[in-house]
Structure 1
Amino acid sequence: MKTPKLSMLDLVAVREGGTPAEAIATTVRTARKAEQLGFARYWLAEHHNMPGIASSATAVLVGHVAGQTARIRVGSGGVMLPNHAPLVVAEAFGTLASLYPGRIDLGLGRAPGTDRATMRALRRDRVETEADFPRDVAELQRLLGPAQPGQAITAVPGAGTEVPIWLLGSSLFSAQLAAERGLPYAFASHFAPRLLLPALELYRRQFRPSKVLAKPYTLIGVPLVAAPTDEEAELLASSIQQRVLGIVTGRRGLLAPPVPGFMASLGEAERSAIADFLALAVIGGPDTVREGFAAIARATQADEFMLSCDVFEPALRLRSLEIAAQALGAGD
């Protein structure tokens, strides 16, 4: 069985008692640690109008993190295309690729990553249809590819940079599109694991080789909380469990400190909703993490695990990444 690469997805969580500036500083420290541990890439998510997440200006953060690191690939996980004109995305990521050659990824999603009112504020009166996402992806591929004679609109910077495009999704739609276009595919199993295995199977079965990818390449989101013992990891995981409860109940807030016995304090329906959301989570001490990673690798045959790890104390978050790297041998 192959050993997956390790990467990191960061929502740039704003902690209770903290500020967005402090959240961004924590992200930089985490990215540097991930680079030191041999992680393959560090992606920033796009979300809007959420008090506990400071990653709304995703391209700006990608540039900041790339500038504060030396080797690790940095990218979007992802840019939500319904919120942006393809030309604007091509120019932004073309600029990033010009500043940091060979280090920038462009992950694309087709959800707005926010509520309808905020989506209207981002793109005004534009009405999104199912056909728009494939068309926008194709336009981005053209804008980031070599400029053609007579091309009416050219992204400068952007044209010829051929920034690697990844398709992100939590359903079968993007899996099929990634297969048709011969693009790498990232599944959002860190929050929506239900269709993970069907999506991977569909992507691999329908994959068509392209000039950018000869065979399927899969990345999957894996929530992680690691500590020296299972008991401590379970306690630290209550911060993420509180966040998930806020998502499913529509009461989002800042990332909260751990609460002993949090899950036991909830009703059955709430516990079930959190468990479904975090079904792929790996929570525990070193042995539990090693066994959890091995089980996911066997089940999915994924090429890469992208960890989401929002431990409340930043230093303990870095420790979680160290345990994960040791468990999977990142950088070996």
Structure 2
Amino acid sequence: MKKQLNSIPYSVLDLATVIEGKTPADTFKTSLDLARHVEEWGYTRYWLAEHHNMASVASSATAVVIGYIAGGTTKLRVGSGGIMLPNHSPLIIAEQFGTLASLYPDRIDLGLGRAPGTDQLTAMAIRGEQRMIAAQNFPQDVLKLQAYLSLDNQRSSVRAIPGEGLDIPIWILGSSTDSARLAAALGLPYAFASHFAPAQFLTAINIYRQNFKPSEHLAAPYVLACVNVVAADTDAEAQKTATSLYRLFKGIITGKRELLQAPVNSMAEILNEYEEEQVNQMLSCTFVGSKETVAQDLQEFLDQTQVDEIMATSHIFDHQARLRSYELLADIFKQEN
């Protein structure tokens, strides 16, 4: 049976983007304001991601920001999309998220990724020579983390307190087929980073579904797709607003990262032919336009992928325009067919 947008949950990935002329302190305030609004608009989750040594991303201390957002909201699920586990001891993450889950019961999600969330030099500063081993040990470290959160760990000489015995859903995040196989083997929900790495998206979710093994955590496969959304009252307004997103991705491609820039009327003189091709490939899971345009395109995406949940991230320079985009998106998911 074909899924409709109004039958699935919709959520937010906030990359805590610092805009030109502002500071991380400003970002945190606008993130909380956004979280309070999307809570009212019926969004299910609000996730933040771990990145390091990036001037445009303020969520390096991810667990701290999760606590700030959870503390300023009342029912929204708040979590990590994700915690880069190779950067951390599984015990420390169990304790951190155990603390969060104790403060905000039944509201904390723990999404785990394998990548360092940064460049190799910074990864070296975080974990030193252990960084490569930690990445290779990601599957084993996920199991260690699960063990620390289990009541069965009570007899162990090393325990996560708080954390032990708490209901903290673990998600596997990924942008490749490796993560799909791991999520399937462990019977965990799978969140794919199609907002910046869509190339293996369809292959990965097919592998996940075909190889899924039911677990005590999840009886059937559950796929969350993260996509870029820029919605506005008109297609033209949305297209202009989205130029901030295109400029951000140009910085990723060229290695010349900047704070989020103001929108421009045209990208013609900003992207050369090669850059435009690369940006379009990375942003193939991006939905830009009026409510009607985004609704039609998102339904086609859902028809193709049959995902169980859609999470939207929106790199929008003006905060009011960002709020409007998420408000329109909520209307899309609520509307009758």
Shorter-chain TM band = over 0.9
- 1:179-328 superposed matches below 5 A: 179-263=184-268, 265-328=270-333
Equivalent of 2:12, from 2, 5, 8? 8
Q: Distance in 1 between matches of 2:235 and 2:155?
A: 62
Secondary structure at the aligned position of 2:226 is classed as strand
Equivalent of 1:45, from 45, 49, 54? 49
Say if 1:141 and 1:162, in contact at 8 Å, map to a contact too. Answer: no
The range that moved more, 158-167 or 101-110, is 158-167
Secondary structure at the aligned position of 1:46 is classed as coil
Q: Structure 1 residue 148: deviation in Å? A: 3.2
Match of 1:167 in 2: 172
Q: Distance in 2 between matches of 1:311 and 1:48?
A: 21
Identity %: 49
Say if 1:38 and 1:330, in contact at 8 Å, map to a contact too. Answer: no
Displaced runs of 4+ in structure 1, greater than 3 A? Answer: 147-150
Equivalent of 2:60, from 56, 61, 68? 56
- 1:92-131 superposed matches below 5 A: 92-129=96-133, 131=136
Q: Distance in 1 between matches of 2:123 and 2:54?
A: 13
Matched, 1:65 2:100: no
Say if 1:75 and 1:107, in contact at 8 Å, map to a contact too. Answer: yes
Amino acid at match of 2:179: S
1:187-228 CA distances to partner (integer Å, 9 max, x unpaired)?
000000111111110000000100010000010011000001
1:269-322 CA distances to partner (integer Å, 9 max, x unpaired)?
111011011101000011111111101100110111110111100011000001
Q: Distance in 1 between matches of 2:42 and 2:95?
A: 29
Q: Distance in 1 between matches of 2:264 and 2:140?
A: 46
Amino acid at match of 1:30: L
Say if 2:225 and 2:310, in contact at 8 Å, map to a contact too. Answer: yes
The range that moved more, 284-293 or 121-130, is 121-130
What is the TM-score normalised by the length of structure 2?
A: 0.96
Q: Structure 1 residue 264: deviation in Å? A: 5.5
Secondary structure at the aligned position of 2:132 is classed as coil
Say if 1:7 and 1:305, in contact at 8 Å, map to a contact too. Answer: yes
Match of 1:176 in 2: 181
Q: Distance in 1 between matches of 2:189 and 2:146?
A: 13
Say if 2:106 and 2:167, in contact at 8 Å, map to a contact too. Answer: no
Q: Structure 1 residue 128: deviation in Å? A: 2.1
Q: Distance in 2 between matches of 1:64 and 1:265?
A: 37
Alignment gaps of 5+ in structure 1: none
Say if 1:37 and 1:331, in contact at 8 Å, map to a contact too. Answer: no
1:71-114 CA distances to partner (integer Å, 9 max, x unpaired)?
01000000001111111100000000000000000000000000
Amino acid at match of 1:177: L
Q: Distance in 1 between matches of 2:139 and 2:73?
A: 33
Q: Structure 1 residue 123: deviation in Å? A: 1.7
Say if 1:107 and 1:167, in contact at 8 Å, map to a contact too. Answer: yes
Q: Distance in 1 between matches of 2:131 and 2:315?
A: 34
Say if 2:287 and 2:294, in contact at 8 Å, map to a contact too. Answer: yes
Say if 2:250 and 2:271, in contact at 8 Å, map to a contact too. Answer: no
Secondary structure at the aligned position of 1:43 is classed as strand
Secondary structure at the aligned position of 1:220 is classed as strand
Say if 2:123 and 2:131, in contact at 8 Å, map to a contact too. Answer: no
Say if 1:263 and 1:271, in contact at 8 Å, map to a contact too. Answer: no
- 1:11-50 superposed matches below 5 A: 11-50=15-54
Secondary structure at the aligned position of 2:227 is classed as strand
1:90-149 CA distances to partner (integer Å, 9 max, x unpaired)?
000000000000000000000000011111211233142454000010000001111435
Say if 1:238 and 1:263, in contact at 8 Å, map to a contact too. Answer: no
